[in-house]
Amino acid sequence: MNGSFQFLTRTKWWAVPLIWLPVVCWCLNTSIQMGHTVPEVALMVVAGIFIWTLVEYVLHRYLFHIDTKSYWTNTAHYLLHGCHHKHPMDGLRLVFPPTAAAILCYPFWNFVKLFTTTTTTPGVFGGGLLGYVIYDCTHYYLHHAQPSSDPAKYLKKYHLNHHFRIQNKGFGITSTLWDHVFGTLPSTKTADKSS
C-alpha cells in the first residue's frame, strides 16, 4: 500500500476516548444548557447509543464488506477495513482513525437531526458518539484481551468467528442485536466450532 496513506490506517486505541470523550461531554452539556435535565439527557444518551449500534452494523456490513471491482475502490476498501482483516491482531489497525470518524460525524449529526429537536440533537448525537467510543474500545479489547466471563467472552468468540470463519455474517461488534434482526447471525454450530 502507498506509504503516504499508511498513517490513515493506524491509530492507538487510547486516541479514540482521548479525542472523542471531551466532544461527548460538550454535546451532553449543550443539551443541559438548552434546558434539559440530567435524566432527560441520560435518555438521549441511551437513544444515541442504540442508534449507534445500528450505524455500526450498517457500516460494517454494507461499507466495510462491500464488493469492489476497480483499483481505486479496492484501495479505498483496503484502507477502510481490508487492512484490518488482513492484519486482525495489529494493535494499530483496530480502531477507526479519528480523521475518518470526524468526516463521518457530519452525516451522523444530520441523520440525528432528522428525528430530534434542536435541543435534543446534541444529547442524542453525544450518545451516538459515546456508542462509537464504546465500540472502538470494545473492538480493541476483543482482539487483545482474554476475557474469562460473559458477555465479553461471548463477544470475543463471536467477533473472531467473523474474522476467521464466516466473514459474511456476524457484523455486530458491541452487540448481536442487528445480526438477529437482519438474519446475519452465524449459525450456532459454526460459532461453537470456533471455540
CB 93 within 8 A of CB 76: no
Q: Give the CA distances from residue 98 to residues 24, 134, 146, in Å, rounded to whole numbers and listed in that order.
A: 14, 14, 26
Residue 158's pLDDT band, with cuts at 50, 70 and 90, is confident
Please list the alpha-helical segments (H only) found in 34-172.
Answer: 38-58, 71-77, 83-86, 98-113, 121-144, 152-164
Instruction: Label residue 3 left, alpha or beta by phi (over 0 means left) and psi (-120 to 50 means alpha).
Output: alpha
Residue 121 lies inside a defined structural domain of this protein? yes
Residue 34 lies inside a defined structural domain of this protein? yes
State residue 21 phi and psi, 5-degree precision.
-65, -40
Mean pLDDT, residues 88-116: 82
pTM: 0.81
Any idea which of 31-45, 56-70, 72-86, 137-151 has the lowest mean pLDDT? Answer: 72-86
Residue 66 lies inside a defined structural domain of this protein? yes
| Whether pLDDT at 10 is above 60 | yes
Residue 47 lies inside a defined structural domain of this protein? yes
Handedness of CA 37, 48, 24, 31 (dihedral sign): negative
- Report the pLDDT value the prediction gives residue 4, as an integer from 0 to 100: 53
Residue 125 lies inside a defined structural domain of this protein? yes
Structural domain of 91: 10-134
| H or E stretch covering 181 | helix 177-182
Residue 71 lies inside a defined structural domain of this protein? yes
Mean pLDDT, residues 48-62: 92
Domain count, the chain: 1
Residue 77 lies inside a defined structural domain of this protein? yes
Residue 191 lies inside a defined structural domain of this protein? no
